[in-house]
Structure 1
Amino acid sequence: MGLIGDLLGMLFGGDRNAVRETVEVFRENAEAGAARATQVQMGALDQFAAEFTVPRRGAFDRFMDGLNRLPRPALALGTLGLFIAAMADPIWFGERMQGLALVPEPLWWLLGVIVSFYFGARHQAKTQDFQRDLAATMARVPQAVENIRALRALRHDSPGVADAGPDARLALAAATPEANPALEEWRRLKRA
């Protein structure tokens, strides 16, 4: 019994488990793996939470954020409003347009510069996205051309699509359209 006890003590004693340690070389300890996965997931969630945490901001910052969001909707809705005003009261609209005709050209240039700077960054980002999408589309063109070529080869009037082989009567029958009484009746009514 002493030899077996010593052997079992060597394998499982001394706060060590040789069998478990040997198995863990070949297979992950599921409990320890789950604990590591939980730590990774909690770390990612903490990072996301830190990204979207906004420090307490004052009334002026909130006001400025709201003000920065106004120009695009105001311009769009204002333009639609001008169209509605032109239809609802053309004289009122004409008076306003005559007032705009008196604005000096340098002021129009200044307005153009301001609007260009305001919307320029957005336009540049959209243009770059468009160019990236266009490049991806152009990369697919050869495949689309090949697909179109394959589809056209399947058309009923393509040469060889209904190859009848050496049977001449079958080839003639395949190339000759059959009578269609409904179509003939429709054509007859159309001529009348």
Structure 2
Amino acid sequence: MIAALIRSLFGNDRNILRDTVEVFRENAEAGANRAHDDRSAALEQFAAEFAQTERGGFDRAIDGINRLPRPLLAFATLALLISAMVDPFWFAKRMEGLLLVPEPLWWLLGVIVSFYFGARHQAKSQDFQRSLAEALARLPERTGAASTQPQQSAIEKSALPTAARRVAETENAALNAWRDSERHKGADRLQN
């Protein structure tokens, strides 16, 4: 009779007790497998998104043209300084002409230059992130995939700023004393 009860609870590749508990609590192993699958799928999606495509001649030509404004602005500024020293009267006439430019036109020029350099900064930032993702994707190849210790992901490592991570990892007596004094000040304020 007891054997029949145990067979009915645990037999036929079933575990009624486990199945009942899983209604209220997640199976940790299955949850870890699902989380691993989710992370793997996200990494595969990122790898596909940041896949390096071959750049054509037109793209390289436009990149070359896009690199011209900064050096041209720098050399033009140096040329203005040199022209002011060589022929001050010629330079003064040109500066008088600049005084006649209406203020809204200066604002428009500022917006155009800001958008140009902002877009360039964003493009360079995305290129940097793409190269960083490629390097991280190659990391298991370099360190050996047979590592038995779990690796902390780059997202988890970057969750805290570096300074905050350092403070969290080390004991700082001065910081603790400051925190205690702030707590006492707060308690004193509440009493008053």
**TM-score, L = length of structure 2:** 0.44
Q: Which has the higher contact order (CA 8 A, sep 6+)?
A: 2
Greater Rg by CA: 1
**TM-score, L = length of structure 1:** 0.44
